[in-house]
Structure 1
Amino acid sequence: MKKYISLLMLSVVLLSCKTEMDRAMKSADKDFILKVANEKFAKKKWSDALALYDRLPNLVAGTDDAPNVIFNSAYANYYDKNYRLAANQFKNFAISFPQDPRKEEAAYFSALCYYEGSLDYNLDQSNTESAITELQNFINEYPDSERSKNINQMIDELGYKLEFKAFENAKQYYKMAEYKAATVAFENVLEDFPATKLRPKIYDIILKSKYELALNSVYDLKKERLDAAAAYAKRISNELPDSEAAKTANDLYTKLETEKVKFAKVQEEVEKRKAEYEAKVKNAQAKENEKNEMAQEKNQRDMEKAAEQTRRDSAKINSPDPQATFKFKR
């Protein structure tokens, strides 16, 4: 019997609450709507509170209730995880009511909403970038605030998320064996995030990319790339002497030096064959030149002979035959 009475009382309470919520949603009475909205807020029924607060801005505009409506609405959105909307409302509160003692709190929660709204590193990071800006703005405006103590930690956390996203994007080139593109992408990460905690890993992958690029390089670029990879391995050993990256660098440096010796022998053989080929070409060219010269000399002699014959024939034509002569007796 007691069980049924309890259920009945619960049903009555729920029906009463529903009826009150419905009345408030249909009412034009500012005070009644605000009363029910605040009750829902106090009971942490964020969706109901927000539905009622959304009806109040025009009704409370210019009244003393306006700040509370905006402030509570912002908090309700924050707790309901509507971070983007809550951030805008908190910021609007801080701008619209600069003399309100809750201005600092609103500015802090505006920045915090961006922080909470930051997505996983593999998703869009526009909220993350906005959060860093808003958190830094809060520190600049309230450097002595108690709330500023943990903000640098939040900024570092968000910054690392951006670094890691850039790192993973660059890593995709390495996974696809696009070693030249991977090197450029990782160097851009180092340029964009000079204080990154991922530097050892970045160095390690850049070196491996340079190593693979050198070993699989075309002949004309191989020596240059082997030298570049070996120099980079030395750089890692010097900058990060006790790191795992340095161990890998030392191992690859040894392999690169061995490869350089092998390639030097290949170069020597190539140069030898190149010299032999050039000598053959030069000898063949000399013979061809000699042959051409002989042919030219023969042509010259034939032309001179033909010219001489032509001259003789011309002289014979132009000279008259000798006339008959008579002898006189003496």
Structure 2
Amino acid sequence: MKASLLILVMALFFVSCSEYQKVLRADDIAPKYAMADSLYQQGKYKKALQLMEQIVPAYRGKPQAEKLMYMYANTFYNLEDFYLAGYQFERFETSYPKSDSVETAAYLSARSYYELSPRYSLDQTDTDKALERLQEFVNKYPNSEKRTEVNALVSELRQKKEKKEFEVAAQYLRVSDYKAAISAFENFITDNPGSVYRKDAFFGRFEAAYKLAINSIPALVSERLTTAKSYYNSFIKYYSDSDLKADADEILNDINKRLESETATTSIN
């Protein structure tokens, strides 16, 4: 019984494959369209794509083109070829602005670019593109049911970019390039007022200024310690109750001791 069932399944499989190959090799586009549609509905995207690629040019301008082009773009999306999915959904939006599927296409185009966004340490060109497309979606469809989800994606990508910018500043501090670290932290604070890394940026700027001061030539130490102290005051103004306050206070105590020593030395001289 099992052997008979296996033979039947195999026979159906080979008939199916044979029929697919027959349609794939034929010149008639109507059977290709019908089979591509059927395979797409079954989730057999790779096979459907082979057929679609043969007939997409032939259906341009025809009534079936709208459905075909949407399936074509969505097939790339389901195959996780997000570059082509994003591009094809954009083309669909441009070609069929009055389609019932245009809002979904706009969302999936933006979502495709979101999927292409790499980890924060890499080049963020695709992240910028994703942010642009996501924002365009929100602007164009302010009442969309996808709005909350899209806003969350925007927030996630912005935080990724902030993390990259913050880590660049932190890396300057780690390699003892204190002037570059101070400048990078200052730019971060100015450019990202609502960032989750803002507290750490304030502290990083203070720490970098302190280390710059204590590693300076004697003639510059006092002035730079005073500058570092001003950065402490900025940190405390916003984050007096933070988990970094104890570390900041410890550095401040050392600054005050060094300034007192500088003052005493100057008085003796």
Q: TM-score range by the shorter chain?
A: over 0.9
Shift of 1:223: 0.7
In structure 1, the residue matched to 2:209 is 210
Aligned to 1:66: 65
Kindly indicate whether structure 1 or structure 2 has the higher relative contact order, using CA contacts under 8 Å at least 6 residues apart.
2
Q: Within 2, Cα distance between the matches of 1:29 and 1:113? A: 33
TM-score of the aligned structures, taking structure 2 as reference length: 0.95
**Which residue pairs with 1:230 in the alignment?**
229
In 2, Cα distance between equivalents of 1:195 and 1:94: 34
1:72: how far off?
0.4
Q: Report the Cα offset of residue 173 of structure 1.
A: 1.2
Maintained 8 Å contact 1:234/1:253 = no
The match for 2:41 is 42
Aligned positions, number: 269
Deviation at 1:29, TM superposition (A): 1.2
User: SS at 2:110's partner residue?
Assistant: helix
Which residue type is aligned with residue 170 of structure 1?
A: A
Residue pairs, 1:1-330, within 5 angstroms: 2-269=1-268, 272=269
Structure 1 residue 265: Cα displacement: 2.9
For 1:61-108, what per-residue CA distance to the aligned partner results, in whole angstroms no more than 9, with x for missing partners?
Answer: 221111111100111111111112111111111110122111111111
Note if contact 1:203-1:245 (Cα within 8 Å) is conserved in structure 2.
no
CA distance in 1, matches of 2:139, 2:230: 43
Displacement, 1:136?
A: 0.9
Q: Give how far 1:213 is off.
A: 1.0
- Secondary structure at the aligned position of 1:56 is classed as helix
Unaligned runs of 5+ in 2: none
TM-score (norm 1): 0.78
Name the SS of the counterpart of 1:88 in structure 2.
helix
Structure number, greater radius of gyration: 1
Kindly provide the amino acid, as one letter, of the partner of residue 107 in structure 1: A
Q: Is the 8 A contact 2:202 2:234 kept in 1?
A: no
Residue 300 of structure 1 corresponds to which residue in structure 2?
A: none
Please tell me the root mean square deviation across aligned C-alpha atoms, in Å: 1.5
Where structure 1 has 5 or more consecutive residues not aligned to the other structure, the ranges are 273-330
Shift of 1:200: 0.8
**Cα-to-partner distance string for 1:104-137 (whole Å, 9 max, x where unaligned):** 1111111111112211112221111111111111
| Helix, strand or coil at the partner of 2:61 | coil
1:235 Cα deviation after fit:
1.6
User: SS of the counterpart of 1:54?
Assistant: helix
CA distance in structure 1 between the partners assigned to 2:117 and 2:23 by the alignment? 35
SS at match of 1:239: helix
- Of all paired residues, the percent bearing the same amino acid is 30
Task: Check conservation: 2:189, 2:202, Cα contact below 8 A.
Answer: no
